[in-house]
A and B are shown apart, each in its own frame.
Chain A
Amino acid sequence: MKEIQDNELNFVARHFRSGIFDWRRAWQRFVSANGRPVRHAFPAWGYALATAFAAIILGVFLFTQQGPRQTVIPVAQTVHTVQLPDGTAATLAPGATLSFRSRGFGSRDRSVRMAGKVFFAVTRNEALPFEITAADGFVRVLGTRFQIDADSTGTAVDVVDGRVLFAAAGKADLRETDGLILTRGMHAELAPGAALPVLADADTANPAAWATHSFLYDNTPLEEVLKELGAHFGCTFTTDARGRRLTGQFDGSDPAVIIALIEEALDIHIDIRPL
């Protein structure tokens, strides 16, 4: 029979309350929040679609004062992905909102309004551009992956791939010269009330990694790589290696795997510590 560690029993005793930490109760909570999970029965975006429907059924409100009926994806508490009727996937960061006209979306237009940070993987449709209004910013695309981060301090756009037209909102008959064309890896910002967005350096190499779980580096200084990965995974990564640069793409949500790949690529050692 094993001996009891005093510190462990004391910890349990100090926090013990009858009935909490019960997995069955937690499971019920999970099921009522997410629906009873059935794995592999849905296609890749099936879950997102189910989430979208659940969100629509539970959280839809009708903005009659705005004229056409609107579907509103309510504020998410966690990162979640919804699929729009045209097949576009929108990944909402906590606190973000997204709305679009329920009727005609995907046939008459592909216009959405949003606030907060949203990553879009837009289904390509040459005939019907995908249009986004976010704070003072307006973005038009054909088919691409990019994110928009809009709040009261302005609107920022980061393009992962494809081609995006970024302009100030509210202009009729927008032409390409009225805005800024952004392509892969570009970052631009629009200040509140400004007429044109300006190109800027993104804060990190992969600003959309929270949604894509993909880190792309092109001759990036190792210090910057480790700083970005550290902020993303909530860890501190340190190394004695100096002046190294990294090129490559790293996918996944397991920091240990990504760090192991970098160690192997550069033949160095990296220490991992929680922040």
Chain B
Amino acid sequence: MNPDTDIRELFRRHYRPLCLYALHYLKDADAAEDVVQEVFTAWWQKTGSGAREPVANVRSYLYTMVRNRCIDALRRSGLQADHLQPEDAAGLIADDDAQERSEREARLWQAVERLPRRRRELLLMSKRDAMSYEEIAEAAGLSVNTVRNQISRALHTLRSALSPDDSTADLLLLLAAFPAA
């Protein structure tokens, strides 16, 4: 790996998953971004100065730093939490699982971001606002069938995004991002 792009590569690969990991603790997207930015800065100051031994598992290291800083931030905010671990509906989960989950969520996030705006809004009404298809249809002025169809397509896109083998969509976007000079 080109040393000049080393930390940029870390940003590219881990920034969004780390933000989602922090979000599980902080429940605030801006605070999560700040923490992850701080962690990359601290990482850079340590490794970039040459004063420290290289860390074998960078990914785990970054996650650990993010977790520690989230816990610090929560503690500073005066939260008296007994179990500061990322939570989901099923309860507490282990570190490795939390890292993998954050990476899946990052892929979902990206896929949601890439959905056509209207389809995305319908999906969010369903998943974020827990509205029924009928409620969404009424609010959006569409037929229930159209709503069902749009959300079904959105979910199909999201499922594709979770499967690393199915990378055609990514490849096309990559080509779009680097038009022929």
Q: Give residues in A with beta carbon < 8 Å to B.
A: 1-5, 7-23, 26-27, 29-30, 33-34, 37-40, 42-48, 51, 78-81, 213, 233-235, 252-256, 274-275
Q: Tell me the B83-119 residues at the A interface (CB within 8 Å).
A: 83-85, 88-90, 101, 104-106, 108-109, 112-113
Beta-carbon nearest neighbor of B42 in chain A: A78
A33 and B41 within 8 A (CB): yes
Q: Which residues of A contact B137 (CB under 8 A)?
A: none
**Residues 8-40 of B contacting A (Cβ, < 8 Å):** 8, 11-12, 15-16, 19-20, 23-24, 27, 29-30, 32-33, 36-38, 40
Residue of B at shortest CB range from A26?
B15
CA distance A269 to B52 in the complex (A): 28
Size of the chain B interface, CB-CB below 8 angstroms = 68
How far does the alpha carbon of A5 sit from the alpha carbon of B50 in the complex, in Å?
A: 42
* Closest A residue by C-beta to B6: A39
Q: How far is the CB of A35 from chain B (nearest CB, A)?
A: 10
> Out of A11, A29, A44, which one reaches B51, CB within 8 Å?
A44
With a cutoff of 8 Å between Cβ atoms, the chain A residues found around residue B55 in the complex are 253-254
- CB of B158 within 8 A of CB of A47, answer no
Given A30-B37, A46-B49, A47-B45, A13–B124 Cβ distance below 8 Å? yes
- List of 4 A-B pairs having minimum Cβ-Cβ separation, nearest first: A13-B127, A23-B15, A234-B68, A13-B128
Bound Cα distance from A39 to B11, whole angstroms = 15
**Residue in contact with A27 in the complex, picked from B8, B50, B162, CB distance below 8 Å:** B8
The answer to whether A39 and B3 touch across the interface, beta carbons within 8 angstroms, is: yes
- Whole-angstrom distance between the alpha carbons of A18 and B48 in the complex? 32
Query: Chain B residues with Cβ under 8 A from A12's Cβ?
Result: 20, 105, 108-109, 112, 127
> Complex: how many Å from CA A23 to CA B15?
6
Smallest beta-carbon distance B110→chain A, Å: 9
Chain B residues contacting A29 (CB-CB under 8 Å) are 37
Say yes or no for B166: interface residue by CB 8 A criterion: yes
Most buried by B among A29, A39, A233, A255: A39
From the candidates B41, B71, B159, name the one contacting A3 in the complex (CB within 8 A). B159
CB of A78 within 8 A of CB of B162, answer: no
Judged by a CB distance under 8 angstroms, whether B150 is at the interface is no
